[in-house]
Amino acid sequence: MPQLVDARPALLWPAAAAAVFTAAQLVLVPGTGLGWDEIVYVTQVEGGGTPAAFFSAPRARGVSWLSAPVAALTGSAASPAALRVYLALLAGLGLLLALRVWRALLPPPVLGVAGLFFAGLWISLFYGPRAMPNLWCALGALAATGWFLRAVRRPGGTRDRRAPWCAAAAVAFVALMRPADGLWLALPLCAAALLVPAWRHRRLLPLLLAGGLALGALPWVVEAYTSYGGLLARLSRAGDIQGGMGLRFAVDDQIRSLVGRTLCRPCVGPWNHRWTAVWWFLLPPVTVAGTLVARRAGRQAASVLAAVVASSLAVTYLFTIDYAAPRFLLPAYALLAVPVAEAVVAATRAVGRTRGRRRLALGGGLALLLAGHLAVQLAVAAEVTERSRAQHRELTAVAAELRRLGVRPPCVIAGDQFVPVAYYAGCSSRQPVGGHDGSITVAGLLRLGHTRPLAVITVDGRRPPGFAGGWRPAELAGGHVAWLPPGGPAGPNRGHGPLAGSTVGP
């Protein structure tokens, strides 16, 4: 595939998109707290003696290592601001680098619009500054596909000797973040290198991509044998935690989650605010239109491959699990941004070629459509971010009330929301009954309660588990209730302050 554009003028476009992305994140992050999954990742590397939360079988260490430079030096429980700013800046830089890979493949306006489309999604804005792997998988997949296209250019064009190695490195990066995403990224790229006649001259490229996948997944595989009883055992446990893998239909769940539900499990209830999903229904036809536009311009390969890889990355989340989280599809959205940008730029130029009232009508309609889409994304982003702030305030209050009750480090928390409550209280989180954490028995948990403060948390009026049925309840903020063993907190904190707080009858 020949070089299509001069790289130099294209540098400004990805820089502008990355700057907008970074600035929007920094506006949204103040006051937000860490969510359950973030806490699991961050506590693996956080300094200050923070107890590490249980690391379940599906998770990979990549995002923990990405967060380590800041998390290891600061405690994020009281204020995650430093981690948020660090990740927001890093996400902006990551978007810049991923877009620059495509600078010789796409015209500058298409490159810029692709970056702005992805940066303008509420899912990108919300997860950019968060210690979660999905946005990084998205940026890695976008970079890997761009490097692949640069690697398979026709021999008559300018050869980029770095491209095959960089494509493999990008696949390794995605696999380090989420091994399954690395697999579904590598498969279509390897297939394209083997099946497309014009690309077969890069005979070593499939081997390099497979090597990148193996290298990125290696830490996960090694940990399977050191901590989970082997690779098959870890895969089996990961499948159980995901609710069992098989032929499922989660498309409707993904659509419902676009209203701002960061986890739709189970995804029940009425489908409210349907206008938040309009853009999702427009995405397939706009992708087709953008691919046709690119074909007329001689750039069909880029849009087609981006759409194929996006479909590969999305299929497992749409048809193999029975729940949804909008972040799962971020890699697909990053790649679909390429044909979407082709369509938007072509539509804008078509409007520019019209005259008179027709130009005014078409231009106004296009502007209204784009402005409406952006308004929806920003409104959902603001709402989801405010919920994060409210959760941070609530959990901070819960932690303060637990301390007044004598539940202070070293302490142990079990029950509902045990991971975030324990994190904000500075306690260890252990769950012997159900859930992903099977690392302790009820007897073991009760033995811990003889040496350190122990509390079982319930929310929404739920009763405590059977072993805590006779314990004394104390109401906390946000409908949380702490169930304390008879005699109050044990261990070195016994007697440090009164067991204050409002108590309720059993």
* 346 & 432 share domain: no
In a domain, 86, yes or no: yes
Amino acid at 331: P
* 147 & 282 share domain: yes
* 249 & 334 share domain: yes
Decide if 205 contacts 239 (C-beta within 8 A). no
Query: 279 in the Ramachandran plot: left (φ > 0), alpha (ψ -120 to 50) or beta?
Result: alpha
Instruction: Give the pLDDT score at 10.
Output: 63
DSSP annotation string for 68-90? HHHHTTS-TTT--HHHHHHHHHH
Nearest by Cα to 142 from 42, 17, 260: 17
Nearest by Cα to 131 from 218, 48, 50, 29: 29
In a domain, 100, yes or no: yes
Print burial letters for 403-412: b (CB count within 10 Å at least 16), e (below 16).
bebbbbbbbb
Chain mean pLDDT for the chain: 90
* 341 & 401 share domain: no
DSSP annotation string for 423-491? HHHT-EE---SSSS--S--HHHHHHHHTTS-EEEEE-TTPPPPGGGTTSEEEE-GGG-EEEE-TTS--G
Quick: pLDDT tens for 338-397.
Answer: 999 999 999 999 998 888 888 889 999 999 999 999 999 999 999 999 999 999 999 999
What token pair was written down for 438? 């099977």
What token pair was written down for 71? 């998390």
Grouping H, G, I as helix, E, B as strand and the rest as coil, residue 502 is strand
User: Which residues of the chain fall short of a pLDDT of 50?
Assistant: 1-5, 7, 491-506
H or E segment and range at residue 318: helix 300-319
In a domain, 382, yes or no: no
Beta-carbon-side half-sphere exposure of residue 152 (alpha carbons within 13 Å): 26
Q: Number of helices (H) and strands (E), helices first, in the chain? A: 19, 6
Query: 449 in the Ramachandran plot: left (φ > 0), alpha (ψ -120 to 50) or beta?
Result: alpha
* 430 & 331 share domain: no
325, 353, 381 - which closes a domain: 353
Instruction: Give the pLDDT score at 203.
Output: 87
Residue 125 has what DSSP assignment? H
All residues at 6 or more sequence positions from 399 whose CB lies less than 8 Å from its CB, including other chains: 77, 421, 424, 425, 426
In a domain, 121, yes or no: yes
* 109 & 237 share domain: yes
In a domain, 359, yes or no: no
H or E segment and range at residue 382: helix 356-404
Quick: pLDDT tens for 135-153.
Answer: 999 999 999 999 999 999 8
Instruction: Give the pLDDT score at 95.
Output: 97
353, 375, 400 - which closes a domain: 353
Instruction: Give the pLDDT score at 369.
Output: 94
* 87 & 132 share domain: yes
In a domain, 407, yes or no: yes
Nearest by Cα to 326 from 267, 275, 372: 267
Q: Based on the structure, what is the number of domains in the chain?
A: 2
Instruction: Give the pLDDT score at 499.
Output: 38
* 183 & 266 share domain: yes
Print burial letters for 415-436: b (CB count within 10 Å at least 16), e (below 16).
bbbbbbbbbbbbbbbbbbbeeb
In a domain, 371, yes or no: no
Which pTM was predicted? 0.92
Domain extent at residue 165:
7-353
* 204 & 255 share domain: yes
* 398 & 330 share domain: no
Instruction: Give the pLDDT score at 249.
Output: 87
* 102 & 242 share domain: yes
Nearest by Cα to 20 from 119, 106, 164, 117: 119
Instruction: Give the pLDDT score at 501.
Output: 40
Residue 264 has what DSSP assignment? B
For residues 489 and 202, what is the distance between their CA atoms, to the nearest angstrom? 66
* 330 & 245 share domain: yes
333, 353, 373 - which closes a domain: 353
In a domain, 368, yes or no: no
